[in-house]
Structure 1
């Protein structure tokens, strides 16, 4: 799964700590990503608004799998998996993957 995230807009000095944390299999977010996570907001409808398949796709995505890998694993098209992820984000009021990551962490959908 995803353990370390840096932004391409981060200073180069933020890259070495991320690599060290990844090597040690520990979690690390660059300062820019930390700020985005803290300021991200989302709706309050919760997981009950999602179908079982949407929850499963989100869990797989948050574990570090790509849309392509999820599609292969579930024997579905990339478009179907992408649509299920987008539908889940819409129902939760999430606008970007950073918000999805934050929600997933708070809802216990990820090990991160």
Structure 2
């Protein structure tokens, strides 16, 4: 039996993932979490074979996240999972299509990258692949990688870095620059610069443009 723990801040998504996976005779969802803090706490007491987690869970308690718990979601959460649960393969569900961020997830040890816009049935294939320690990537994300490889070096260089995109994501999720600095253990000046650089590279002039971009690209 393959034991799976699922984390997502949308109850409908949690229910859908559980329903799809448990149609398989050999897969069982043994735990659910609605944010990064719940996921980490759950993993302390519930063994599992595969972790499926959303990349962005802004529904987390940001006050707690910016205090002693810095693994709320995004790259900090993935880094923690990769370092603490090295034997448990991780599948990240996301609507982010920034190749730099996706490559960073792979470099942190994420075996599965699943596009939330794709059919949920893909998760069954993802679970079976990572259980064999084989990488899995949704077709749409693979096509995005291939597109990036065809782009000129200038176009690729002008994409925001993973650190800049993490600041961007947290800002459009509702955190202030000061809160982001505290959460990521960076200076306010550094975060402000990374926010500004992300906006410049994406051709955005105002904060309201950031929110529009984030919605259009599935970041929030």
After superposition, where does 1:86-97 map in structure 2 within 5 Å? Answer: 86-97=196-207
1:80 aligns with 2:196: no
Structure (1 or 2) with the larger CA radius of gyration: 2
Aligned-residue Cα RMSD (Å) equals 1.8
After superposition, where does 1:36-55 map in structure 2 within 5 Å? Answer: 49-55=159-165
Aligned residue-pair number: 66
Shift of 1:98: 0.7
1:68 aligns with 2:68: no
Aligned partners of 1:62, 1:98: CA distance in 2, in Å? 9
Q: Larger RCO: Structure 1 or Structure 2 (Cα < 8 Å, ≥ 6 residues apart)? A: 1
Aligned partners of 2:175, 2:186: CA distance in 1, in Å? 14
Greater strand content: 2
Gaps of 5+ in 2: 1-57, 59-154
State the match for 1:57 in structure 2: 167
Shift of 1:89: 0.2
TM-score in terms of structure 1 length: 0.55
Gaps of 5+ in 1: 2-44
Aligned partners of 2:200, 2:186: CA distance in 1, in Å? 21
> Which ranges of 4 or more aligned residues in structure 1 deviate by more than 2 Å?
none
Greater helix content: 1
